[in-house]
Structure 1
Amino acid sequence: MYDLLIGLRVYPGISKKPILKGSKVDTFGKVYFSILNSTQSLNAKIVIFSDGCGIEFHEMIENMTPERYDLEIIRVDCFSGPKSFKKQYDYLSASDAKLVALLEDDYLLDVGALDSVFKYAASQGFKNYYTFFNSSDYYTHDLHDYKSKIIYFDGDYWRTVASTTFTFLCSPATLKKNYVFFRTYSIGNFDHNIWALQTKLGWWCLLVSIFKKPSVNNFKRLLKFFLTLLLLSPLVFSRRENLWVCIPGKGTHLETLGCSFEYRPE
């Protein structure tokens, strides 16, 4: 049994406004290096979900990966975010690892970041969800105007939040239990809705968003939230998951408009 199973989705495209400059091969090399150094002590395996990547990506990954990691490269080649996410999700949910990490190829992680997340998850019995990404949205976006639980653990603060991206960590059991929520992503649901329905945070913020900042996007998000709520109401009201983010964060998104609170792009 692995302590940690890392599932990394990789595709050859780049962010619209990336923090790092250079080709995707160059920037991915930096991302992958940060992932390799994000855990120093865990028995871990890395699974690459290669979505349309060429042989140069695979060779670089194989050459960079230390022997202490088990490595597997899976060609998914579905050229679709929702489809590759489903393959990643299904694979990791079938694992017997203590914790699984669903990662994307546009995040930089701090040294030891996943070690820190693992320690906190272990203290919580590996229940609920965890993220190293302390998004700037938590401090600036109207959807995140709510009260959180805050815990101090091993030198870091941990705070509950309503949502995150699809880069997160949890146990395989948590993935299996909440499969139906994430399946709505493939039919166009917003990622914020998928999380908020599980965390039960920020529902009022969603409702008032169409009055504070009327827009087609806000209306669609709210409409899909209520449609999903009606469809999955027995599940929604029978459980609640905490989504924990570490403060300060231990990684950032490569998109300048979605960076971490701690990172200040030039």
Structure 2
Amino acid sequence: MHKRDIAIAYRIFPGISKNPFFSADNKLRLAASCLSSMKVALDGVSFKIFAILDGCPDSYEELFRSHFKADDLEIIQCQKIGNQATFRKQIEILLGQTEAEIVYFAEDDYLYVPGAFEKIVKLLRQAPAIDFVTPYDHLDYYTLNFHNYKSQIISRADHHWRSVSTTCLTFAARKSELSRAHRALEHYSEGSSDASVWLSITKFHIYNPFKYLQFLFQNFYLFKILAISWKFGWRENLFLKRQTLYSPVPSLATHAEATCLAPNIDWQKHIPPRPLP
């Protein structure tokens, strides 16, 4: 019997990646806002957080300990092992833990809406046909023709969800489904892209030769995503049974990158006014 609703592997490093729409010059402040946002989003859910601190000064450990009870938190210190290695560590931790069947991969630059995790947990419990869930209604779903496909839309957990082909590396799953897909996900740590990894899991477009020709001439970046999927994940492309990935509409979280905010939500209103406790 699992003790908690969800186990979270949260990776963080002291640098700023991309261009966040707030606190762009202060990573500790950005991290504090995102962590405070996540804490509110966890209301109503029992959880265990495994915080992977990659080359972080002591202030980052203090940040986590000020937000969460000791029994709900485990600190894992790493010495600047980098993005790919910390993602692999997330996989290892979540597959090895026995706290919860539902697991969550968290990055350090996401804002959440209140109650987000309660909906994610309910969805995965109510809909066994859903294998993976992203909290992020990515702007790319509306702007890239790669996502011009027919989605299944369902209503569960007091929210709407739709099937999608790819997402980033913040997502939830059942531990059993993560175990099935872990080898495909590990290709990210070997040099694949996040989108390419997801295509090996969801199978969107990878068997359609017309898509390769279309993207080769219209958008070489999208062609490369398909090609990289085969370069690193050809075994999974051929032999791993398709798994499903769903995204919320509207979004339950956003990546803080200024150019990729989830649409139709005023994210400024979700920045905690006093993130440091």
After TM superposition, where is structure 1 displaced by more than 6 Å over at least 4 residues in a row?
none
Q: 2:64 is paired with a residue of what secondary structure? A: helix
C-alpha deviation, 1:52, in angstroms: 0.8
Letter in 2 for 1:81: N
Cα distance in structure 2, aligned partners of 1:199 and 1:232: 10
Q: TM-score, normalised by structure 2?
A: 0.87
Moved more, 220-229 or 89-98: 220-229
Cα distance in structure 2, aligned partners of 1:206 and 1:46: 40
1:131 maps to which residue?
A: 134
Cα distance in structure 1, aligned partners of 2:18 and 2:201: 30
2:217 to 211, 214, 220: 211
Letter in 2 for 1:213: N
Q: TM-score, normalised by structure 1?
A: 0.90
2:230 to 220, 226, 242: 226
Of all paired residues, the percent bearing the same amino acid is 27
2:37 to 34, 39, 44: 34
1:49-198 correspondence to structure 2 within 5 Å: 49-66=52-69, 70-96=72-98, 97-125=100-128, 128-198=131-201
Letter in 2 for 1:242: T
Cα distance in structure 1, aligned partners of 2:105 and 2:236: 24
2:257 maps to which residue?
A: 255
CA distance change for structure 1 residues 126 and 26 in 2, over 3 Å: closer, same or farther?
Answer: farther
CA distance change for structure 1 residues 54 and 188 in 2, over 3 Å: closer, same or farther?
Answer: same
Task: Give a deviation string over 1:45-68, Cα, whole Å, max 9, x none.
Answer: 11100001100111122112257x
2:272 maps to which residue?
A: none
Cα distance in structure 2, aligned partners of 1:37 and 1:66: 14
Aligned length: 261
RMSD over aligned CA atoms reads 2.1
C-alpha deviation, 1:185, in angstroms: 1.2
Cα distance in structure 2, aligned partners of 1:106 and 1:194: 21
Cα distance in structure 2, aligned partners of 1:55 and 1:79: 17
Cα distance in structure 2, aligned partners of 1:223 and 1:126: 28
For structure 1, list consecutive stretches of 5 or more residues without a partner in the other structure: none
C-alpha deviation, 1:232, in angstroms: 3.3
C-alpha deviation, 1:262, in angstroms: 2.7
Task: Give a deviation string over 1:172-214, Cα, whole Å, max 9, x none.
Answer: 1111111110121122112111111211224458522221123
Cα distance in structure 1, aligned partners of 2:224 and 2:153: 31
Aligned 8 A contact 1:8 1:49 in 2: yes
1:10 maps to which residue?
A: 12
Cα distance in structure 1, aligned partners of 2:154 and 2:126: 11
Moved more, 105-114 or 170-179: 170-179
C-alpha deviation, 1:226, in angstroms: 2.8
For structure 2, list consecutive stretches of 5 or more residues without a partner in the other structure: 269-277
Letter in 1 for 2:184: F
1:19 maps to which residue?
A: 21
CA distance change for structure 1 residues 112 and 3 in 2, over 3 Å: closer, same or farther?
Answer: same
